[in-house]
Structure 1
Amino acid sequence: MRHNPARRAALLDAAIEVLARDGARGLTFRAVDTEAQVPTGTTSNYFTNRDDLLTQVGHRFYERLAPDPALFTDLLTGPRDRAQVTALMHEVVDRVSHFRSGYLALLELRLEATRRPELRRLLTDRIRADLDGNIAYHVQSGMPGDATTVTVLYLALNWLILERLTLPDLFPEEQIPDLITTVVERILPDPNAPA
């Protein structure tokens, strides 16, 4: 196996694009070679088989989706209130939505995971770790709400992202910011509101 990290990353990025455009059935080594504009056979020099490629695509998606570490530093300097949670949720939805091909590729990976136990374990472990990390950050930073708050926000906003990327005419783009804010307000009520 070849070990050029830049080439491997480029091949995985190409695989993400193929998955997003053509689905899991269209993901072949030849399709990745073509997308990456490399000689035929290059992908097979980096990945032992299709399962290996799918698994590595799962890792690459999360590498590319990681937020800028400065984001968390900035958030910790402000107040820990519902407005801060709302701002964070807007950032997350926008960041994920702007990596459209990555999210669509992740959906394809999730479907493939129903048939591939190793991929299912990878995605389950990775998504569980992300959710647990988000819960820990939320609670430890003193943001309002609890683990259930984070979990419900995760579930609601992931579906909003899904609709935004797969059925963009369902909710007009200009409506998305208000929907995000409404989701946060419904899940995390104003502590100053009368009971």
Structure 2
Amino acid sequence: MRKNDQRRNALLDAAIEVLAGEGARGLTFRAVDAEAGTPTGTATNYFANRDDLLMQIADRVYQRWMPDEATWAAAETGPRDTAKVTELMRETVGRVAGFRSGYLAMLELRLEATRRPALRVVLTGRVRADMDANVSYHLKQGLPGDATSVRLLMLALNWLIVETLTLPELFAPEEVDELVVKAVERSLTVT
């Protein structure tokens, strides 16, 4: 397998676009090469097989979802209250939904995982690690709420993102914002 990380990431980014736009059936090495603008056969030099490509797509989406340093710095300033949690959740929903093709590709991967046990293991581990990291961060930062509050927020806001990306006319932007506010308020009062 080739080791050029920049080329691998470009191929993975192209694969994300293909998966989001064409679904799992449309995800072929030829389609990835075409989307990436690379010669036919390039993707086969970077991924052992289709399963390898699918598993690496999930990691690439999560890499691209990670907040930048300025976002991390802003998250760690100010009071540790409900308003801060709301600010963090607004930013998270905006950042994750802003990478529309990444989120849609992850939905496709989840569906594909129902038929591919190895992919299901990889995705379960990745999503569990993300959930655990979010819970740990929340608690270490001294934000209000407990582990269950964080999990409930993640579940609610993930589905809100699904609705905004797949049915964009369902909620106006101000309704999305209000739902984020209410999800935070209600999840934190449960504890």
TM-score with structure 1 setting the length: 0.94
Alignment of 1:21-32 (within 5 A): 21-32=21-32
Alignment of 1:38-57 (within 5 A): 38-57=38-57
Between the aligned partners of 2:121 and 2:67, the Cα distance in structure 1 is 23
Q: Residue 19 of structure 2 corresponds to which residue in structure 1?
A: 19
Between the aligned partners of 2:61 and 2:140, the Cα distance in structure 1 is 26
How far 1:190 sits from its partner (Å)?
10
> CA 1:24/1:176 → structure 2, altered by over 3 Å: closer, same or farther?
same
Between the aligned partners of 2:68 and 2:190, the Cα distance in structure 1 is 29
Between the aligned partners of 1:165 and 1:114, the Cα distance in structure 2 is 22
Q: Residue 150 of structure 1 corresponds to which residue in structure 2?
A: 150
Percent identity of equivalent pairs: 63
How far 1:70 sits from its partner (Å)?
3.4
* 1:59-96 per-position Cα deviation (integer Å, ceiling 9, x unaligned): 11111111113323322221000000000000000000
Q: Residue 4 of structure 2 corresponds to which residue in structure 1?
A: 4
SS at match of 1:145: coil
Aligned residue type for 1:104: L
**Contact 1:82 / 1:190 at 8 angstroms: preserved in 2?**
no
Between the aligned partners of 2:72 and 2:12, the Cα distance in structure 1 is 27
How many pairs are equivalent?
Answer: 191
Aligned residue type for 2:3: H
Q: Which runs of 5+ in 1 are unaligned?
A: none
Q: Residue 64 of structure 1 corresponds to which residue in structure 2?
A: 64
Between the aligned partners of 1:76 and 1:6, the Cα distance in structure 2 is 31
Between the aligned partners of 2:173 and 2:144, the Cα distance in structure 1 is 28
Aligned residue type for 2:26: G
* 1:138-167 per-position Cα deviation (integer Å, ceiling 9, x unaligned): 111110000000000001000000000001
Question: Bigger shift: 63-72 or 28-37?
Answer: 63-72
**Contact 2:149 / 2:190 at 8 angstroms: preserved in 1?**
no
Alignment of 1:13-162 (within 5 A): 13-162=13-162
How far 1:183 sits from its partner (Å)?
1.1
* 1:4-50 per-position Cα deviation (integer Å, ceiling 9, x unaligned): 11111000000000000000000000000100011111111111110
User: Which of the two has higher C-alpha Rg?
Assistant: 1
- Which 4+ runs in 1 deviate beyond 6 A? none
Between the aligned partners of 1:3 and 1:141, the Cα distance in structure 2 is 38
Between the aligned partners of 1:22 and 1:103, the Cα distance in structure 2 is 14
Between the aligned partners of 1:5 and 1:56, the Cα distance in structure 2 is 12
**Contact 2:34 / 2:40 at 8 angstroms: preserved in 1?**
yes
**Contact 2:80 / 2:144 at 8 angstroms: preserved in 1?**
yes
TM-score with structure 2 setting the length: 0.96
How far 1:116 sits from its partner (Å)?
1.0
Between the aligned partners of 1:159 and 1:96, the Cα distance in structure 2 is 12
Q: Which runs of 5+ in 2 are unaligned?
A: none
How far 1:189 sits from its partner (Å)?
3.1
Between the aligned partners of 1:49 and 1:190, the Cα distance in structure 2 is 46
